[in-house]
Structure 1
Amino acid sequence: MVLQMRLVSDDPAATEAWLRGSAIGFLRPPDLSEEELELRRAKVDLRRARGIFEGDRCVANYRSFDQEVTAVGGALLPSNAVANVSVAATHRRRGLLTRLITADLTEARERGDVVSTLLAAEYRIYSRYGFGAATSFSQWRVDIPRTGLDPRWAAPEEGSLEFVDGAEARKVGPELHDRFRRLRPGVIDRNTLWWEQATGATRIPPNAPGTEEGFHVLYRDADGVPQGLAMFTSDGAWEHHQPAGTATVHDLVATGPAAERALWCFLCSIDWVTAVRSGRRAPDDLLPELLPNPRAAALTDQADFLWLRPLDVPRMLSARGYAAAGELVLEVRDPLGLAGGRYLLAASPEGASCTPTSTRSADLTLDTGMLGRLYLGDVSAARLAALGALDEETAGAIARADLLLHTGRRPWCPDMF
């Protein structure tokens, strides 16, 4: 039977087949309830959902949607976010993902998106399509009795803390997050559905773990302006007739160190809580060293997270900030032929330009995936060169690249999508 690629949003039957095919692709039960089907149709942006159909069955799934990702320096880049990628186990190794992703990325480039982003369920797939791991995360488990924090701690030295309900979190959270995301490269925007799910107002699928409403703690500065918000749940455990609960942090954003310190100190001083699980935090998060005994925060997990793919190299490199002045000529290879070429970057702390060049020789040769890895500053050119992932064509170019691209804090993407 012919395998046909098609968009699904204008066809209710195709949309339902796409949703069931996505469940099968991720080895979840395909018998979705009418409630879940209706929620997904109403809440999830399916305008660029496409699939490979064999008759009425969807055997490969793919979706993209508009996103903004913060570059070094605070610029918000228009991104083509990729999600819900799966191929049925019965139809692997037929080039179906290649058909889907090539069509989508070509449209994204023509539409004017600067980059494409995704979270890779499997590491080895997406470098073939020009993506590279651009951020990472770490998770900690804090053993509260070993922190050395004063158990009498009750309030921050400045500002205030208060519990707020989900409605208030949805009210103040978006504006607070909008200020926060401009401070950290790698952070992405949050839509209404994100806030509804984070506060338990919407659950997709219904009764899914982690979508229940927990506790929301807001930090306001001395002027009463919200500067930090933590969302967490507690298991309420007891052991040997004593409270031994674990608080799990689902989200914590702060616009500065004072808010971050106040929220973590609060979380580590709640009565009946003896452990805190941090959730996915930045790889250089302040948490461990906010504690008198940093060893009380044990690292439990770390991994790559946000993957980035260049679509428009001149706009991408011109948009970010640079810590030093200098020039660099990059020979960029693209496996899909969308963003390859030779580009001259002229950068300084005051601004940057990037233009194609045919007269300058390359200083570095690399593919789009490695440029994606370098772009937000999470990995050094020297390390990639040692791995054989890029070539230095001009002596000193690697050191120059690291001088230009270095960031004081590592990039971080807090959110799944």
Structure 2
Amino acid sequence: MATDLATGLRVLERDEWDQWYDNLFRAFGGEPGSAEERELDRSLTEFDRSMAVWDGDLCVATAGAFSFRMTVPGGALVPTAGVTMVSVAATHRRRGVLTAMMRRQLDDVRSWGEPLAALTASEPAIYGRFGYGAATFQMDAEIDTARVALSVPAGTDDVRLRYAAPAEVLDACEAVYARLVPGRPGMLARQPGWERVGLLDPESERDGASVLQCVVAETDGEVTGYARFRTKMGWGVSGHDGTVVLKDLAAVDPAAEAALWRFLFDIDLMTTLTLRRRPVDESWQYLVSDIRRCRPRLRDALYLRLVDVGAALAARSYQAPVDVVFEVEDAFCPWNTGRWRLSGDAKGASCERTSDAADLSLSVRELGAAYLGGVSLASLAAAGRVRELRQGALAEAALAFGSAVPPWLPHGF
């Protein structure tokens, strides 16, 4: 297989995309996507950042990397490789194919000058060995709206709600989203074409629910929020038992957000509101009368890797002054291995190579997990993943790395 890899791993050509994409879907269960999904995925594919492994004329593995900009603590947008479309044919597993693609990809990302790489993992156990750490989490919930009430803040009644065709208000909704991006680590600035993801409405995703609907919130004539959702009718022995399935919700102020939540809770004939991929600190949790009947569940979301430790740590700010030396282990990207002095505060930071004694020892995987402020270095130390070499250094770094707002990935890729 080593010979095959040497000649078979290469950048994707445009006329190879269909076979490449079909191989990807086969690896993920074989169910083809809709024509709408396929066309969107092709339009978003960055061919010079995508690769395939070929065994003769057969595509046996795929991988790609979107050119994203992601918000980091402090509000900066940092170039980030969005690792995507990763698959290996079942016929070619256990032959080093994935490792070869990850090796080539991280070398490429470094050459592109992008200090971060990020992905969502279908199997979380896979990517730790390549230096990716779970950096953001998301909230799912099944809210019993027949038995859970909302207490909304002042100003909610001043917000006007109206139905609108999702495509007709897309620009206004995107403007709302763009206003939110700098305020939460992990959010992605929308590149051209990515706004269409919010409109995707294949029948395969509906599970018997309606077509995608949209309601916008307006304050003094300005769109200040939106919700995209589907409704699914249901009837039981006691009567109506429908479900609202939320796809997306965003708002720029508490009143607009509360107005949208109240609307979703109160739709006629619906008794359940289903939420997926929501921020772990979202406001509805503090408006409801009974959190237990919301059945919240936490799960992992974004996995992050520091491709260039110095550039990545210098790109964000820190919520408290910090001056520590990290001893970093990175077997897969050895250019990161060694000691790095991080000095920074809320105004900015620098991170340079040093020969000074180390204060904390950890692998690049732990740095990735802690980077966006959603995972504490102190928690990782309690798990034995970070070692304190200078007394007090852990508390200093853990406080500095935190974020006032938990990180959140708004959509998959």
Mark yes or no: TM-score above 0.5: yes
How many residues of Structure 1 are paired with residues of Structure 2 in the alignment?
Answer: 405
Classify 1:38/1:226 alpha carbon distance in 2 versus 1 (closer, same or farther; 3 Å): closer
Letter in 1 for 2:365: G
Structure-to-structure mapping, 1:16-415, within 5 angstroms = 16-29=18-31, 40-149=41-150, 156-200=156-200, 207-210=203-206, 213-221=211-219, 223-240=220-237, 242-299=239-296, 301-336=297-332, 337-358=334-355, 360-415=356-411
**1:352-405: CA deviation from partner (whole Å, max 9, x where unpaired):** 2222212x2111111111001111111111211121111111111111111211
Letter in 2 for 1:6: R
Match of 1:343, SS state, is strand
Letter in 1 for 2:25: A
Q: Report the identity percentage.
A: 36
CA distance in 2, matches of 1:145, 1:176: 30
Contact kept in structure 2, 1:318 and 1:353, CA below 8 Å: yes
Which 5+ residue runs of structure 1 have no aligned equivalent? none
CA distance in 2, matches of 1:36, 1:242: 36
Classify 1:43/1:293 alpha carbon distance in 2 versus 1 (closer, same or farther; 3 Å): same
Classify 1:224/1:357 alpha carbon distance in 2 versus 1 (closer, same or farther; 3 Å): farther
Letter in 2 for 1:120: A
Classify 1:137/1:403 alpha carbon distance in 2 versus 1 (closer, same or farther; 3 Å): same
Match of 1:383, SS state, is helix
CA distance in 2, matches of 1:269, 1:93: 52
Contact kept in structure 1, 2:68 and 2:191, CA below 8 Å: no
Classify 1:137/1:42 alpha carbon distance in 2 versus 1 (closer, same or farther; 3 Å): closer
CA distance in 2, matches of 1:193, 1:277: 27
Match of 2:385, SS state, is coil
CA distance in 2, matches of 1:338, 1:81: 21
Contact kept in structure 2, 1:9 and 1:48, CA below 8 Å: no
Contact kept in structure 2, 1:17 and 1:56, CA below 8 Å: no
Q: CA RMSD in A?
A: 2.5
**1:328-348: CA deviation from partner (whole Å, max 9, x where unpaired):** 111112122243332111112
CA distance in 1, matches of 2:283, 2:12: 44
Match of 1:288, SS state, is helix
Classify 1:238/1:178 alpha carbon distance in 2 versus 1 (closer, same or farther; 3 Å): same
Contact kept in structure 1, 2:34 and 2:204, CA below 8 Å: no
More off after superposition, 55-64 vs 330-339: 330-339
Classify 1:107/1:354 alpha carbon distance in 2 versus 1 (closer, same or farther; 3 Å): same
Contact kept in structure 1, 2:319 and 2:345, CA below 8 Å: yes
- The answer for the alignment partner of 1:5 in structure 2 is 9
Contact kept in structure 2, 1:159 and 1:224, CA below 8 Å: no
CA distance in 2, matches of 1:144, 1:70: 34
CA distance in 2, matches of 1:394, 1:330: 11
Contact kept in structure 2, 1:25 and 1:60, CA below 8 Å: no
More off after superposition, 190-199 vs 364-373: 190-199
Which 5+ residue runs of structure 2 have no aligned equivalent? none
CA displacement at 1:38 relative to structure 2: 5.7
Contact kept in structure 2, 1:166 and 1:213, CA below 8 Å: no
Match of 2:168, SS state, is helix
Match of 2:22, SS state, is helix
CA distance in 1, matches of 2:85, 2:42: 14
